[in-house]
Structure 1
């Protein structure tokens, strides 16, 4: 039996960048300059802030100032960031059998959507466009 390695952080980042390039242009334009990063799992501080007990409960997170709260007078502390968490994504992929690219795309869109205050229904519509 041949064994292969699970997808790496670089593999997931490549999928996320491909997915980002394919989302609706108005959404892409609204988050221009946002960094997309892949980390293994959320850190303890993040889990505590979100009141989560296990790192596999969080597949992604948007860190930054919501667009509705930004002003021209703000001094950016750094780029807004979309974090994708590799291990939780892979666990969900294994448990659900969903296509990995589609799962990464859905996590990415979900995080962008909540940042802009989209409802779950609006996010589901966006997720279904790919």
Structure 2
């Protein structure tokens, strides 16, 4: 009997997984997040990678773009939209290399990490929170 291997998840599949990951977060967390637009792309745009000093597009799994909540002001009534990007190919690559987590768990991890930036947290602060949660 032959085993059937499915196709890699498409961009639309990833978007559905990200929506499900966001929906599974605690309601208070989702409410605090406010209006954030989620985008799924295969890779970050070359301009973004250059701006971040990243040569290998597989090194960036997600990105937050926007004014984080700590920097917003009532004097700026129309801030730019807050965007969370998930990059499908690097996430798939990390998932294949890791082997310890499900794709859904990894997508959720990247999503929550980027929302952390939306809340104004640095990478070090997010890492410390994750370590405390795992600990």
TM-score (ref. length: structure 2): 0.84
- Equivalent of 1:73 in 47, 72, 75: 75
After superposition, the Cα gap between the structure-2 partners of 1:94 and 1:60, relative to the gap in structure 1 and judged at 3 Å, is same
* Aligned-pair Cα RMSD in Å: 1.8
> In the alignment, what sits opposite 2:105?
102
Where does the alignment leave 5 or more consecutive residues of structure 2 unmatched?
A: none
SS at match of 1:38: strand
Where does the alignment leave 5 or more consecutive residues of structure 1 unmatched?
A: none
Mapped partners of 1:112, 1:70: distance in 2:
15
**1:69-114 deviation digits (Å, cap 9, x = unpaired):** 1011214354211100010011111111220000000000011113
Bigger Rg over Cα: 2
TM-score (ref. length: structure 1): 0.87
Matched pairs, number:
127
Contact 1:113–1:123, Cα closer than 8 Å, also in 2: no
User: Is it true that 1:15 corresponds to 2:17 in the alignment?
Assistant: yes
